[in-house]
Amino acid sequence: MQIYLASDHAGFAFKNHIKEFLLGKGYDVEDCGPFVFDKDDDYPDFVSKAAEAVSKDPKNAVGILCANTGQAEAILANKYKNVRCALFYAPAIAVGTVDVTGRKSTDPLEIINLARDHNDANMLSLSGKFMEISIAEQAVERFLKTPFSNAERHVRRIEKIKKLELGMKNKE
Catalytic site positions = 73, 118
Q: Is 122 helix (H, G, I), strand (E, B) or coil?
A: coil
Picking from 83, 30, 86, 77, the residue whose alpha carbon sits closest to that of residue 56 is: 83
Distance of CA 126 to the CA centre of its chain: 7
Tell me which residue of 71, 83, 51 sits closest to 126, measured CA to CA: 71
- CA–CA gap between residue 51 and residue 29 (Å, rounded): 14
How many CA atoms lie within 13 Å of 13's alpha carbon, on the beta-carbon side?
A: 6
Helix (H, G, I), strand (E, B) or coil at 107: coil
